[in-house]
Amino acid sequence: MTAVMAMESVPVDTWHERVHQVKQRGFGFFDFLTAVDRNSFVEVVVHLVREDLSDSYLISTMLSNENLHIDSIETLFPGAGWHEREVGEMFGVKFEGNDMQKLLRHETLGLPPLRKNIVLSARVVTEWPGAAEPEIKQDGRKVGNPSRRRQRPPGAPESWLQQ
């Protein structure tokens, strides 16, 4: 794959312009566009590659949680439209200029599931099977004297697990 990767973070109002400039500098192959939830803001990232794959360019921008709007780059790279719709569905970002049709989720389904403040309801209503021990039965019954401290499921925030 590519040897070098330039990285740059740009203000959101220069997003479209900057992506256009980088494309004109020879990074004409659209690899992907995605987003990362950084808690206090959402980072949108696009990865562009030179057509001979000799190097690539990562451009990112930060969107404040209060204003998840950004210009679409679909006119520069038609393939980006699909990625923008996915980011819209999963992170609640609105790409201006993209029709933002739903890809996978039904219109009426609520909050964007990849935001970290969204509680994954299956994790809350399901009992974690890992709490069982040789001395603790799956239904919570204790036999013998279980010594170790109670295990918690990895990756699930404490606040989801309080009953």
Partner 1 sequence: MIHSFIALLPDKCTSCMLCVRECPAWCIHLDSHTEEVTDAGARRPKKINVLDSFDIDYSLCMYCGICVDVCPFDALEWDQHRALISDSRADLTLGITQLTSENDSAN
* Sites of contact with partner 1 (CB under 8 A): 126, 128-130, 132-135, 137-138, 143-144, 151, 153-155
Q: If we measure between CA atoms, which residue out of 69, 11, 5, 63 comes closest to residue 39? A: 63
Gap between the Cα atoms of 81 and 97, Å rounded: 10
Q: Where are the beta strands (DSSP E) in 23-157?
A: 29-37, 41-49, 55-64, 69-71, 94-96
Shortest distance, position 71 Cβ to partner 1, whole Å: 36
CB–CB of 66/12 below 8 Å? no
Distance of closest approach, residue 138 Cβ to partner 1, in angstroms: 6
Q: Where are the beta strands (DSSP E) in 18-54?
A: 29-37, 41-49
Q: Which is nearer to partner 1, 82 or 128 (CB)?
A: 128
Token pair listed for 156: 């699930």
Residue whose CB is less far from partner 1, 40 or 147: 147
Question: Smallest gap, in angstroms, from Cβ of residue 75 to partner 1?
Answer: 37
Question: Minimum distance between the CB of residue 141 and partner 1, rounded to whole angstroms?
Answer: 11
Give whichever of 4 and 125 is closer to partner 1, judged by the CB atom: 125
Q: CB of residue 121 vs partner 1: minimum separation in angstroms?
A: 13
Closer residue to partner 1, CB minimum distance, 45 or 132: 132
How far are the Cα atoms of 36, 85, 88, 91 from residue 105, in angstroms, in the given order?
19, 11, 11, 12
Scanning 41-126, the segments in alpha helix (DSSP H) are 80-91, 121-125
Taking the least distance from each CB to partner 1, the nearer of 67 and 150 is 150
